[in-house]
Amino acid sequence: MTADDAALRAFGADIQRLIDGGDLSRGRTYRLFRTVLLGEQPDLHQGALLAALVAKGETPEEIAGVWQAIVDFDTVPAGAASAADTRGPLVENSGTGMDALKTFNVSSAAAIIAAAGGARMARHGARSLTSRCGAVDILEAVGVDVDCDIAVVERSIDAAGIGIFNGMSLAVHPGGLGRILSRIRFGSTLNIAASLANPVRPTHGVRGVYTDALLAPVGEVMLGIGYEHALVVHGYDDRREAGMDELSVLGPSLVNELHAGGRRDAYTVEPEDFGLRRARHGEVAPLGDLHSEAVRFIQVLGGRGHDACGDAACLNAAAVLYVAGRAADLADGLAQAREAVAGGAALAKLEEWVAAQAGDVDRRIAGEGRLARLRAEAGLPA
């Protein structure tokens, strides 16, 4: 038996273990995904491993092993420019994606509103895989340079209080991560772990998950990798028949709140708890094309119509402001988020971000021009 054949057989044996319902240790999962990310296993084996993990149900140890492999073998390390300082902790609010209930890009709007309220946002997102408009897609459409180097993102976080690392860019993840994620269309352990592989390692965050079965295990992983205060959330429609990786304005949301020291609190919130009208899915559903999404995105940030979208963005911004220590609770955060929109601070923060996260002068000018045209079309000229 050759060394290559032995490696294939060993990998296959671990897949069979998962198929039979067995769990893998963190170390074993780490070693398996090292070979996946480095392209040392055939595509069929890589896909089989992902499918077997999902079918069995991932343990926190397995998710942590995948995360560690991504960090060690496929993530460009960030410098010290974005480290937490007296301005507050770094916060992220990227979800896993792959949820059943599709909406406009709530988390990106929420991040901008929260940044306008003083939260320091270090986002890590991707292009669309199953939705019409991923975080990277919508931010590129409104003028942010999403293909810049890591150092540019760090400078943007430092200068504007917000930046996004493109999770499918070779500048951030130069190995196999983007290749694999771009080819699969189901929620997998890789999606979960990749969403946590932020180059600047934030310690605070709001993380949406695509199924409520992940609330506890993802929370356990986050505590294990250094999070000090976070919310893991899964929202539902009115009948709890479909879910989203956001706090919902359509129905109840399940929350797993994580605290430094390991304490976890589980609770449910409803739109009515905050005086919000329970919306219909059609009010927050994706539109037909990216340009229309970009115009609506600007209108939401500027408080121009789209009340249900605005409620969703502000509720999720409230969660960010709360974990960032900027708000006493979600209700206080919601009031601050609404003020940031109504007072023009949210749109001003987007303009500041577009200027700060640009790889060169030409990209900055192009981004600012794109945003100016969208603002005019949205009825919110600068």
| Domains and their CATH numbers in the chain | 3-57 (no CATH), 90-349 (3.40.1030.10)
Indicate whether 9 pLDDT > 60: yes
pLDDT surpasses 90 at 298? yes
Q: Decide: 48 and 180 in contact? Cβ < 8 Å.
A: no
pLDDT tens profile 111-140: 999 999 999 999 999 887 666 678 999 999
Q: Dig out the tokens for 182 from the structure.
A: 């771009």
201-249 per-position pLDDT tens digit:
999 999 999 999 999 999 999 999 999 999 999 999 999 999 999 999 9
Please state, for a pLDDT cut of 90, what percent of the chain lies above it: 82
How is the chain split among helix, strand and coil, in percent rounded to 5? 50, 10, 40
d(CA 80, CA 78): 7
Is residue 149 within 8 A of residue 52, CB to CB? The reply is no
Number of Cβ atoms within 10 Å of the Cβ of 62: 27
Q: Tell me the per-residue pLDDT of 240-286, one tens digit each, with 9 for 90 and over.
A: 999 999 999 999 999 999 999 999 999 999 999 999 999 999 999 99
* One-letter amino acid for residue 179 of the chain: R
Average pLDDT, the chain: 93
Evaluate whether 347 touches 366 at the Cβ level (below 8 Å). no
List pLDDT tens digits, range 339-377: 999 999 999 999 999 999 999 999 999 999 999 999 999
pTM of the shown model: 0.95
- Evaluate if residue 184 carries a pLDDT over 70: yes
pLDDT category at 107 given cuts 50, 70, 90 is: very high
Say how far apart CA 76 and CA 198 lie, in whole Å: 10
Range 66-88 average pLDDT: 81
Looking at the predicted structure, is the pLDDT value of residue 90 above 80?
Answer: yes
How much is the CA Rg of the chain, to the nearest whole Å?
A: 20
Query: Cβ neighbours of residue 183 under 8 Å, at least 6 residues apart?
Result: none
Q: Does residue 94 sit in helix, strand or coil?
A: coil
